[in-house]
Amino acid sequence: MGNPRSESNKGDQVKFQEELKDNIRKALPELDVVIGWCGSFDPLHATPHFMRREEDIDKLEISPLSVHNLATYLPGLRGKKVGIVVKGCDSRSVVELLQENLINREDITIFGFPCTGVVDQSKIKKALGGHTGNIEFCDMSESVIVIKSEDKAYTLPMAEMLADKCSSCRYPDAVISDYFAGEKIGNKGEEDADYAAVETFENLSVPERFGYWLKEFDRCIRCYACRNACPLCVCRDHCAAESRDPHWLSQENNVRDKLMFQVIHAYHLAGRCTECGECQRACPVDIPVLMFKQKMNKEIRDTFQYEAGVDPEATPPLLSFKMKEENITEKVW
Amino acid sequence: MPVLTGKELRIVGFLCNWCSYGGADTAGIGRFNQPTDLRIIKVPCSGRIDPLFVVKALMNGADGVLVSGCHPRDCHYAEGNFYARRRLEIMHNFLPIIGYEPERFEYTWVSASEGQRWQQVVTSFTEQIHKLGPAPKILGPEASDTLSLMQAAL
Amino acid sequence: MDPVKYLKSADLMSWLEELARENKVFAPRYEGDAVIFAPFDPKQEISIKHAATMPPKKTVFPQSEKLVDFTYSKDPENLSRILIEAKEILPKGTTVVFGSRPCDVRGFTMFDRVYLAEKTTDVYYKARRENTSFITLACEKPETTCFCHWVDSSPSDASGSDVLATPIEDGYVLEPFSEKGQKLLTSSLLENGERWILEVKDVHENAAGFLANAPDLSQAPQKLLDVFDNMEFWENAAAKCLSCGACTYLCPSCYCFNITDETTGMKGTRFRSWDNCMSAQFTMEASGHNPRPTKAHRLKNRVGHKFSYYPAIHDGVISCCGCGRCIKSCPVGIDIREIVQEAINHEPAIGKE
Amino acid sequence: MKDKNHYLPEMATINEVIQETHNIMTFRVTFNDPQVMENFTFQPGQVGQLSSFGTGEATFVINSPPTRKDYLQFSVMRTGEVTSKLHSLSEGDQIGVRAPLGNFFPYEDMKGKDIVFIGGGIGMAPLRPLMLYMLDNRKDYGKITLLYGARSPVDMAFNYELQSWLEREDLETHLTIDAKYEGWQHTVGLIPNVLLDIAPSSENCVAVTCGPPIMIKFTLQALEKLGFKDEQIVTTLEKRMKCGVGICGRCNIGSSYVCMDGPVFTAAQLKELPNEL
């Protein structure tokens, strides 16, 4: 595991960020809005940043805090000329949206940059003893995050604070872009995706697995942040979760419907999910909801040798078939 | 008349209208002995089966789910079962992550004339489910309703 | 009021066990990486160092609750006729919540004005509210996202609470604030705490001292109405909103709900469940018309309700307790403080409304 | 004293079902408990929530006049889940009723004045109880005019009483449809235009109107042209509702709740509210 990173230092980060800003400055006059990131309520958080005027560009900040997948906003802005800053993983969502004709290529301007990974806030929280409510200072380099919280200074190894998807990332550079600021790191799509965590979980006994999900989903509040943060949950206001006819789910607060919804989400993403992890990141009660989607992707890979979000022209496997399926062995009775 | 001794389990069968439902009918007319755990729901085509039906059935108390359609190349709608095969195969393999044995769900093809094959499929699937025993059940709105009983059973 | 009591930290779990004998006790504990109010279990550690991820809203206003159970049956006199019996399901039992924070419980005082209104008293809410006691922990240090001092509260506000517990060295000073609270403080584990009163004052003042000056929100109700028709303002404010329900469901003062029927066979239940004004379905009419069709309209209503419409009909009280969970837990970092301040500072363009 | 459970519907029986149009049905219902029926009072313009248990509740105006003591009448247009379910019910079926809810038409303040009713489509239903109440107390009011319009004759509800309304000498009735229709003997034209043709005097007059949003918009403009002031125009609103008692939080317009402060508003009151219909 692990992504051999370019030994660029902070200076390079600043350099490509300036280049990126120049790119946006050039393109903005033709665009309604460019979406990037900027600082948020404390030094440890960033927030999506909608740039409409030139002066908005100054606030743009690219850092390991740029966690949000901004592709989520694209279908809602259809019809507008939109610029979007993408990490490698985010760009794969853009590819999916293009593939599904949910956005028009000519309306979208994509700004790429070499992504060295984003943090997992829960990991930082754990490293800080379960509390990130009083962050006074935060600075990051390639190798460490320095945080001051409640008069205590922490120096955390960046590699350990990165989101899981980043430590096994195979697409650090945008797979599709109109502008690319900085030096590409190099994508490695031909390497196998890492599903070790899924496999470990599958080795548990049936009651252990079933019980695990019941326990985890018990605290679900059905806010559907997982769904709304998902760039590929494109039904938006017409989701099966709230439909009365068909009546997939009840409104009762019960663990069955919460679990069922996650299966619905995973299945509706079969062959579409790019594992950007927004569902899990958005969950306000930290339920590990990404694993269902990883499992689905693993099955799609094993059965159809297909990976979503790489080729805008590809046909997703569940929208096609072969008379003879090489990797499906039917049961003999 | 249950072929299998012991308590009946709940098996839900989704059968396509054109082949498998006919096959089951043929088995019935031929008076082939079959276990009675299966409850059949007729659908227009195996391509009509949303694989989520399978999970919904299991979560609502089924111990096994069987889908049966026309043989490949024999679909009344030409290619419904080809799409179904891909979807159902994926769901079959997905089940373990939730905590269901994949063997609780099978899909197969039975034509309207294959009464004998239908008997074979039902009997063998029913045996398979009985071997697994009852599926994990969700017993109340809160996780603790189920977990406390699961722990007691372990 | 009865004298102030003192509880040694070492006796906390035993005290909660005592309380759990006659009440359902909820206390915050880790579930995964989140801190949730869960039924007290002496075998599991509680987590009270910081405010919980979720407020204890569900203890009085459950995520879903049964309003009415109904059954269908055939009329024995006339078999073609279906009879329906509908029965109200009222909550029973007493609950004690330990480890709530001042903001968490103050949220219920905003519920109270609505749910306990004289002519439209909500019997379900009333039953739970009356039978639930809150032992609230005063905050020692507010977080970055805390702004209780903006909304006429403080880290040691006891409004809505029955007992205020202030952590001091090796223990807690427990002050009763209601009759219910007094009744909770009868255990032999508790000693007289009068001698700690000055320390308590110090803790409270110290916590309040961390909070910077609060902006004046007295203009907020009118200013928010002034920008009501300025959709550009709201579209900018809502641009990054995902329309999820994290902010509303984690909010101690958000009280909107949905009512839905769920049936199996001849039986069914009418449920009340949390609802989310940020969702398009919230106001969607059967005809397809939606008075709040976009997320900008909906965010406007959410902010407007808390800082303008509610104060207008409830003696100027802002329906926000300043806990900051909507900021902290928002997947995209929307900051309600910014929106309110921007509305207050918004200068209407000349010649434009 | 025990508080009333506002969420628990009173059980009632459907006594009569009238198919008004292809998508509107009228239900006449009686509470199962005779005591409840006897003590039930309401004011014209108030609404009720009808329950089909298992499907849900929806809000409808009680459109029988308060002077009718033997039943409550609701007219239901089929649009969504609950209304579709209600349309499947027939005589003898049980439903739940939560009523009366909301405010009512200020009929006391209207005494001694001329009244113009302007109803479009199903919007006639809320006007009906007030008009029938006024006809029952005819001497208290001045000239009463009714302008009732629908898309076509087959979309016109209350067909069975239109003739008697036309024949009454103390009521001036105008019926109109949107487009020409074979056999139609009354006016053809959109309600706002017909209203301008009828041109009722705004002098000491109150206009009461209800109908689809687009009709209301132009009707208000027409009334303004005719010299009606906002205080002289009364309308009744519709919103998605759940609780009906001002708690659940979805029918608000700013700080007013349509279920409690409405559904009846004067145009003057509406102008005071934020623009969110």
> Where do the CATH 2.40.30.10 domains begin and end in chain D?
10-101
Beta carbons of A142 and A9 less than 8 angstroms apart: yes
C residues 254-283 lying closer than 8 A (beta carbon) to A: 258, 260, 262, 269, 271, 273-274, 276, 279-281
Chains near A (3 or more Cβ pairs under 8 Å)? B, C
Q: What token pair was written down for C89?
A: 């399901």
Phi and psi at B125, nearest 5°, equal: -65, -40
Crossing angle (nearest 10°) for helices A255-268 and B80-98: 130
pLDDT of residue A17 exceeding 70? yes
The verdict on A176 and A226 lying in the same domain is: no
Nearest to A207 among B97, B142, B150 (CB): B150
Structure confidence at residue D1 as a pLDDT band (50, 70, 90): low
**Burial (CB count <10 Å: 0-12, 13-18, 19+), residue C350:** exposed
The verdict on A216 and A175 lying in the same domain is: no
Interchain proximity A221–C273, CB inside 8 Å: no
Phi and psi at D117, nearest 5°, equal: -100, 130
Nearest to A213 among B82, B99, B154 (CB): B99
How far apart, in whole angstroms, are the C-alpha atoms of residue C259 and residue D9? 13
- Is the Cα torsion angle A55, A58, A62, A67 positive or negative in sign? negative
- When divided into structural domains, chain A yields a total of 2
Structure confidence at residue A266 as a pLDDT band (50, 70, 90): very high
Query: Mean of the pLDDT values across residues C210-218?
Result: 93
Query: Mean of the pLDDT values across residues C346-353?
Result: 64
Range B11-153: architecture per CATH = 3-Layer(aba) Sandwich (3.40)
Structure confidence at residue A10 as a pLDDT band (50, 70, 90): low
Residue A301 within a domain: yes
Beta carbons of D98 and D33 less than 8 angstroms apart: no
C-alpha angle C335-C337-C341 in degrees, rounded to nearest 5: 125
Chains near B (3 or more Cβ pairs under 8 Å)? A
Kindly compute the dihedral angle of the four CA atoms of residues A293, A294, A295, A300, in this order, to the nearest 10 degrees.
90
Looking at residue A147, what is its pLDDT?
Answer: 95
Phi and psi at A47, nearest 5°, equal: -145, 150
Looking at residue B2, what is its pLDDT?
Answer: 45
Q: What token pair was written down for B55?
A: 């999970």
The contacts of residue D178 (CB under 8 Å, 6+ apart) are: D149, D150, D151, D152, D188, D189, D190
> Where do the CATH 3.40.50.80 domains begin and end in chain D?
114-236
**In which domain, by residue range, is A243 found?**
196-319
Q: pLDDT tens for residues A81-127?
A: 999 999 999 999 999 999 999 999 999 999 999 999 999 999 999 99
How far apart, in whole angstroms, are the C-alpha atoms of residue A186 and residue A171? 7
Residues in chain A within 8 Å Cβ distance of B53: none
The answer to whether residue B36 neighbours chain A at the CB level (below 8 Å) is no
The count of CB pairs under 8 A between chains C and D is 135
Contact flag for B and D (3+ C-beta pairs < 8 Å): no
* A151 CB neighbour count, 10 Å cutoff: 7
- Which of the pair, D232 or A10, is modelled with greater confidence? D232
The contacts of residue C222 (CB under 8 Å, 6+ apart) are: C308
Structure confidence at residue A146 as a pLDDT band (50, 70, 90): very high
**DSSP of C245-310:** SHHHHT-TT---EEEEEEEETTEEEEEEEE--TTSGGGG--TTS--SS-SHHHHHHHHHHIIIIIH
Interface with chain C: mutation pick from A118, A134, A217, highest number of C CBs within 10 Å: A134
Topology adopted by domain D114-236: Rossmann fold (3.40.50)
Domain end residue (candidates: A155, A180, A205): A180
- How many Cα atoms within 13 Å fall on the side-chain side of residue C1? 17
pLDDT of residue C351 exceeding 70? no
Looking at residue C138, what is its pLDDT?
Answer: 97
Q: pLDDT tens for residues C223-255?
A: 999 999 999 999 999 999 999 999 999 999 999
Nearest to B138 among A252, A255, A325 (CB): A255
Domain end residue (candidates: A127, A156, A180): A180
Residue A264 within a domain: yes
The verdict on A24 and A112 lying in the same domain is: yes
How far apart, in whole angstroms, are the C-alpha atoms of residue A8 and residue A154? 23
Looking at residue A13, what is its pLDDT?
Answer: 74
What is the Cα Rg of chain D in Å? 18
The verdict on A174 and A226 lying in the same domain is: no
Looking at residue A4, what is its pLDDT?
Answer: 39
pLDDT of residue B4 exceeding 60? no
Question: What is the DSSP code (8-state) at residue D62?
Answer: B
Tracing tokens 């430590």 back to the chain, one arrives at A167
Q: pLDDT tens for residues C30-71?
A: 999 999 999 999 999 999 999 999 999 999 999 999 999 999
* D3 CB neighbour count, 10 Å cutoff: 14
Residue A278 within a domain: yes
Q: What token pair was written down for A29?
A: 């006059």
Query: What b-and-e string marks burial along A275-306, b requiring 16 or more CB atoms within 10 Å of the CB?
Result: bbbbbbbbbbbbbbbbbbbbbbbbbbbebbeb
Pick the closest to residue B118 from B71, B68, B60 (CA basis).
B68
pLDDT of residue A6 exceeding 50? no
The pTM score is 0.94
Range D10-101: architecture per CATH = Beta Barrel (2.40)
Beta carbons of C50 and A130 less than 8 angstroms apart: yes
Contact flag for A and C (3+ C-beta pairs < 8 Å): yes
CA distances from A271 to A275, A280, A322, D73 (A): 11, 18, 16, 54
Pick the closest to residue B54 from B19, B89, B78, B17 (CA basis).
B89
Crossing angle (nearest 10°) for helices C336-345 and C231-238: 160
Residue A214 within a domain: yes
Residue A141 within a domain: no
How much is the ipTM here? 0.93
B residues 8-27 lying closer than 8 A (beta carbon) to A: none
Pick the closest to residue D36 from D69, D1, D76, D73 (CA basis).
D69
For residue A111, the SS3 value is strand
